Amino acid sequence: PLVTSTKMFQDAYAGGYAIGAFNVNNMEIIQGIVDAAKEEKSPLILQVSAGARKYASPIYLRKLVEAAVEDSGLNIVLHLDHGEDFEICKMCIDDGFTSVMIDGSKHPFEENIALTKKVVEYAHAKGVVVEAELGKLAGIEDDVNVSEKDAAFTDPDQAAEFVERTGVDSLAIAIGTSHGAYKFKGEPRLDFQRLETITKLLPNTPLVLHGASTVLPEFVELCNKYGGNIPGAQGVPEDMIRQAAQLGVCKVNIDTDLRLAMTAAIRKVFMESPSEFDPRKYLGPGRTAIKKMVQHKIRNVLGSSNRL
């Protein structure tokens, strides 16, 4: 069935591993991810962004995820990614999501608290769990000075106060990751000291790492080889994700790596078989590429294989 992440996060916290939260937008993406989780016997979070709801329409995504649950027999968390206001969180809760993110990170501290509290009250009354965010996702640019960095990254004392006052179930933190395929200009760096301080102050709160794709060079190169143009892409090295998973990080958000894997596979078909025009002939390899990528993440990076 659809489940909340409560037990998954407790186990991940204690076991020093993390659960992958993969963004879904269509049938092939869902099937590829769920197939991988099933083969790896891994807990799984499928997450839907506002953009995904707009693209596929909410009911299609919900029904596809329900089909995945029924077909796979897995326990799956259906999560709203980056809910920007109370209304979208309420809609998803009312629609049967088991987890929502209220992303109030762009608001001042007190407003973020008030908004998050309001979502937590509504969600908890319906048995739904809530993720919130404190701090701004941004890479450590070489030209960013210390006070700017301090302002953007999650303040550990504020994080403790935030969780205490909101009653939120998990917290997304900013320690140097960012969304998309261009995360670092120079050497990749994350503020692990900050992460350790937050983990010490919040020993029971599952932490969430957004912008956690690795942007594997192999896949960028494949995209470029088959006619793409994605120069200078760089993500979070896999070792850093492993290190974060051993601390309080229980949920690792991955979208970009799926996009790159699927695009590389589809581009390859287009380039090598230009006479092909049956969508199944390229969406199929796209789906297989997603499955392989997710299997790699689960087994080699997140450590969530055989944890059911």
> Would the annotation count 211 as a binding residue?
yes
Binding partner selected for residue 5 from Na ion, ligand 13P, Zn ion, none, CB under the kind-specific 5 to 8 Å limit: none
Of 24 and 212, which CB lies nearer to ligand 13P in the complex structure?
Answer: 212
Residue 254 burial by Cβ neighbours in a 10 Å radius (0-12, 13-18, 19+): buried
Binding partner selected for residue 80 from ligand G3H, Zn ion, Na ion, none, CB under the kind-specific 5 to 8 Å limit: none
Q: How far is CA 308 from CA 7, 11, 78, 247, in A?
A: 11, 10, 17, 21
* Buried residues in 126-149 as b, exposed as e (16+ CB within 10 A): eebbbbbbbbebbbbeeeeeeeeb
Kindly tell me which residue out of 117, 183, 194, 210 binds Zn ion, with binding defined by CB under 5 A: 210
Whether the Cβ atoms of residue 47 and residue 81 lie closer than 8 Å to each other: yes
Binding partner selected for residue 245 from ligand 13P, ligand G3H, Na ion, none, CB under the kind-specific 5 to 8 Å limit: Na ion
Whether the Cβ atoms of residue 192 and residue 236 lie closer than 8 Å to each other: no
Least distance from C-beta 131 to ligand G3H, angstroms? 12
Chain residues 89-148 in contact with ligand G3H, contact rule CB under 6 A: none
What mask, x for binding ligand 13P by CB under 6 A, covers residues 201 to 220? ---------xxxx-------
147 contact partners, CB below 8 Å, separation of at least 6: none
Chain residues 18-47 in contact with Na ion, contact rule CB under 5 A: 18
> Interface with Zn ion by CB under 5 A: which range of 57-65, 112-120, 202-210, 228-236?
202-210
C-alpha–C-alpha distance, residues 82 and 137, integer Å: 12
User: Is 81 among the catalytic positions?
Assistant: yes
Chain residues 62-81 in contact with ligand 13P, contact rule CB under 6 A: 81
Give catalytic residue positions. Answer: 81
